[in-house]
Amino acid sequence: MTVYGAVFYILAGVILIATGLAITRRNLVHSIVYLVISFFGSAMLYYLFGAPLLAALEIIIYAGAIMVLFLFIIMMLRVEPSALRKPTLRQWLPAGVLGLIYVAVAILVVTTDPGSQTILETALARPRVFGRFLFQRYWLSVEIVSFLLLIALVGALYLGKAFVKEGGDQKEDQS
Amino acid sequence: MDWMIGFAILIVKLGVVLVGLLLLAAYLVLLERKFLGRLQIRYGPNRAGKFGLLQPLADTIKMLTKEDIVPEAADRVLFLLAPAVVAAEALLIFAVVPFGASVTLLGKKIPLVITDLNVGLLYVFALASLGVYGVALGGWASNSKYSLLGGIRGAAQMISYELSLGLSLVPIVMLARSFSLLDIVRAQAHYPFILVQPVSFMIFFISAMAETKRIPFDLPEAENELGAGYHTEYSGMRFGLFFLGEYVNLQVFGALVAVFFLGGWRGPFLPPVVWFLIKILVISILMIWVRGTLPRLRYDQLMHLGWKVLVPLALLNIVATGFVLLIIG
C-alpha cells in the first residue's frame, strides 16, 4: 500500500465513524459537530484525489454555510434531546429494506468491478481547467440546476411575504 | 538532503510567522487601547513600562495565571474547544498570505509565503467561514442566555457578511485571472486594484469589519445588552484566546486588503516585508479609528446593510467589471 492509499483508508475510516456518530447522537448540536468533521474528511479526500477546488467548495458551502444554518436553527428552536422511543414497524421497515439493498449493491460492486483493483493516480485539477471542463461539457446541467435554485429562491420569497402579511403589525420586519 | 533543507526552511518560516503574528496581535491591543484613549481624550494604559509598552506582557501573565472556570451546566468539551477554533482559524489563514517576493539565501530561492495554493482565495474563505463555529458553539456550550443570544447573533451576522465578502472579491479574481494570492499580487505590478475597484474595496472593508465583529458591528458581544455576548462565561486564557483570535483576524484582514487592493508587498525604497507590515498597520488603525468614531448599528440596520445594500452592490459590480473586461478584450 502506498502512502496515499494509507491516507485514503484513514480518511475513509474517520468519515465513516464521524457520520455514524452524527446519526446516533441524541444531542443535535453534537450531531452537527460530527457531521462537520465528516465534511472535513470528505474535503481532504477531494484534495487527495487532486481536486483542491472541490475541497475548498465542500468546506465553504457544506461545512461553512449549510451546517451553520442548521446550527442556527437548532440554537433558535432550543430543541431538547428527545426521549427514547421505539419507531414503529411502518417507519423502520422501508428504511431497513432500502438500506439492505444498498449494502447488497455495494458488496456486488466492490467484488465484481475490476475498477476497484486499480490504484488511483493523483492528478491535479486546476480551477481554470475544472471550470472549462464543467461549462463546456455540462453547461445544460449547470443551467438546469441553477434554474432549480432560482425556483427555490422564488418559493422562499413567496413564503416570507405571505408570513409578513398574516403577522400584520410586524412592519419593520421586512428583511 | 534536499528534502531535509526544504522541511527545515518550512519550520523556520512557520515559527517566524507565528511569533510575528502573536507579537503583533499583543501590540495591536496596546495600540488600540492607546489610540482609543486619545480619541476619547484620555491617556490609555501608561503604567507598565515606558508608555505602557509592557502592558501586553502584564495582560498575558494575568490571563495565564487566572482560574479557568467551566460553568457547571456547560457542555464541557465544546466549551473548552470553542476558543481554540477561533484562534486556530485566524492563525491558519496566514498560511497562504504572501508577505514578500522570493529571496535568495545561500543559492536557494525561498518564496516568502508558507504555501502558495492555487485555490488560495477559496482557502481563506473556507477558514473564515469556519470561524463562525467558534462563536456559535462557544455561545451555545456556555448554557447561558446571554451567551446563546450572542452566539446566534454572531452566526447570523457572519454568514450574512461572508456573502458580500466573497462577492466583493469576484472582480479581483476576474482581473487577476487566478485564485492564488501570489498571482493576485503579481497582477498588480502596474497599478494596485484599489484604483480600478474602489467599490469592491469599500464592500470588502465593511464586510471585513463585520466579520471581525468590531464596532459598529459588535452585536454578538454588545456589552450593554448581553453582558459580553458569546464569551460572557469564559475566563482566564480561554477568554484570552477569543481575544487573540479577534486581533489576529484584524491582521489577517489587514493583510488581505493589502494583497487584494493595495498591491501586496510593493512599495518604493523600503524592503517588501516592511511595506507589507506598514499596509497591515494602516488598515488596522483605520478599523480602530472607525471603532472610536461610530456607534453600534441596530440589528435590523445590520441585516439591511448586508443584504439590501452590500450584496446587490457587489453583484452589480461583478456585472459591470465583466462588461468592461469584455469590451477591453
Q: Do B119 and A52 touch (CB under 8 A)?
A: yes
Are A49 and A113 found together in one domain? yes
Are A72 and A120 found together in one domain? yes
Query: What is the DSSP annotation of B178-209?
Result: -S-HHHHHHTTSSS-TTTT-HHHHHHHHHHHH
Are A104 and A173 found together in one domain? no
pLDDT for residue A175 is more than 50: no
- Residue B110 belongs to what H/E stretch? strand B108-110
CA B70 – CA A152 distance, rounded (Å)? 43
Neighbours of B321 (CB within 10 A): 20
Find the DSSP H helices in A25-126: 28-48, 52-57, 67-77, 89-112
pLDDT at A174: 45
Question: Closest to B126 (Cβ–Cβ): which among A33, A64, A126?
Answer: A64
Q: Do B129 and A173 touch (CB under 8 A)?
A: no
pLDDT for residue A93 is more than 90: no
Range of the domain at B46: 2-328
pLDDT band for A82, please (50, 70, 90 cuts).
low
Neighbours of B325 (CB within 10 A): 13
Residue found by looking up cell 439590501 in the block: B308
The C-alpha cell at A43 is 474535503
Q: Do B307 and A175 touch (CB under 8 A)?
A: yes
Q: Residue B248: which of B20, B16, B65, B62 has the closest Cα? A: B20
Are A167 and A103 found together in one domain? no
Distances (CA, A) of B288 to A20, B22, B32, B36, B38: 46, 18, 6, 7, 12
CA A126 – CA A133 distance, rounded (Å)? 11
Q: Do B303 and A64 touch (CB under 8 A)?
A: no
In contact, B303 and B160? CB cutoff 8 Å: yes
The C-alpha cell at B142 is 456556555
Question: Closest to B117 (Cβ–Cβ): which among A29, A52, A63?
Answer: A52
Q: Do B118 and A64 touch (CB under 8 A)?
A: no
Are A112 and A55 found together in one domain? yes
Are A114 and A160 found together in one domain? no
Q: How many domains does chain A have?
A: 2
In contact, B227 and B146? CB cutoff 8 Å: yes
- Rounded to a whole number, what is the distance in Å from the CA of A104 to chain B's nearest CA? 37
Which of A31, A40, A59, A173 has the most B C-beta neighbours within 10 Å, making it the best mutation to test the interface with B?
Answer: A59
Are A122 and A143 found together in one domain? no
**Average pLDDT value for residue range B272-294:** 87
The C-alpha cell at B20 is 510575528
Q: For chain A, what percent of residues have pLDDT higher than 70?
A: 78
Query: What is the DSSP annotation of B291-321?
Result: HHHPPPPPHHHHHHIIIIIIHHHHHHHHHHH
Chain A neighbors of B117, CB-CB under 8 A: 52
Helix axes A67-77, B120-141, angle to 10 degrees: 10
pLDDT band for A84, please (50, 70, 90 cuts).
low
Are A63 and A20 found together in one domain? yes
Those residues of chain B whose CB sits closer than 8 Å to some CB in chain A are 75, 78, 117-119, 122-123, 125-126, 128-130, 132-133, 136-137, 139-140, 148, 151-152, 155-156, 158-159, 162, 179, 300, 303-304, 307-308
Q: Residue B88: which of B130, B122, B35 has the closest Cα? A: B130
Range of the domain at A160: 138-175
Neighbours of A164 (CB within 10 A): 12
- Rounded to a whole number, what is the distance in Å from the CA of A86 to chain B's nearest CA? 27
Q: Do B159 and A69 touch (CB under 8 A)?
A: yes
Those residues of chain A whose CB sits closer than 8 Å to some CB in chain B are 27, 29-30, 33, 36, 52-53, 55-57, 59-60, 63-65, 68-69, 71-72, 75-76, 126-127, 172-173, 175
pLDDT for residue B263 is more than 90: no
Q: What is the pLDDT of residues B40-60, one digit of tens each?
A: 888 888 888 788 788 888 888
Q: Do A75 and B133 touch (CB under 8 A)?
A: no
Chain A neighbors of B119, CB-CB under 8 A: 52-53, 55-56, 127
Query: What is the DSSP annotation of B241-253?
Result: HHHHHHHHHHHHH
Are A7 and A46 found together in one domain? yes
Domain membership of residue A88 (yes or no) is: no
Q: What is the pLDDT of residues B90-125, one digit of tens each?
A: 888 888 888 877 777 766 777 777 777 778 888 888
Question: Closest to A65 (Cβ–Cβ): which among B129, B152, B179?
Answer: B129
Give φ, ψ of B268 to 5 degrees.
Answer: -80, 160
The C-alpha cell at A106 is 455495494
Q: Which carries the bigger pLDDT value, residue A162 or residue B258?
A: B258
CATH number (domain holding residue A115): 1.20.120.1200
CA A83 – CA B301 distance, rounded (Å)? 40
Are A7 and A27 found together in one domain? yes
Q: Indicate if the alpha-carbon torsion angle A81, A82, A85, A87 is positive or negative.
A: negative
CA B111 – CA B101 distance, rounded (Å)? 6
Domain membership of residue A151 (yes or no) is: yes
Q: What is the DSSP letter of B103?
A: E
pLDDT for residue A171 is more than 50: no
Q: How many domains does chain B have?
A: 1
Q: Do A64 and B129 touch (CB under 8 A)?
A: yes
pLDDT at A83: 62
What type of residue is B214? R
Task: Classify B104 as helix, strand or coil.
Answer: strand
Q: What is the pLDDT of residues B200-252, one digit of tens each?
A: 999 999 998 888 888 788 887 877 778 777 878 888 888 888 888 888 888 88
What is the reported pTM?
0.82
Are A28 and A56 found together in one domain? yes
Domain membership of residue A28 (yes or no) is: yes
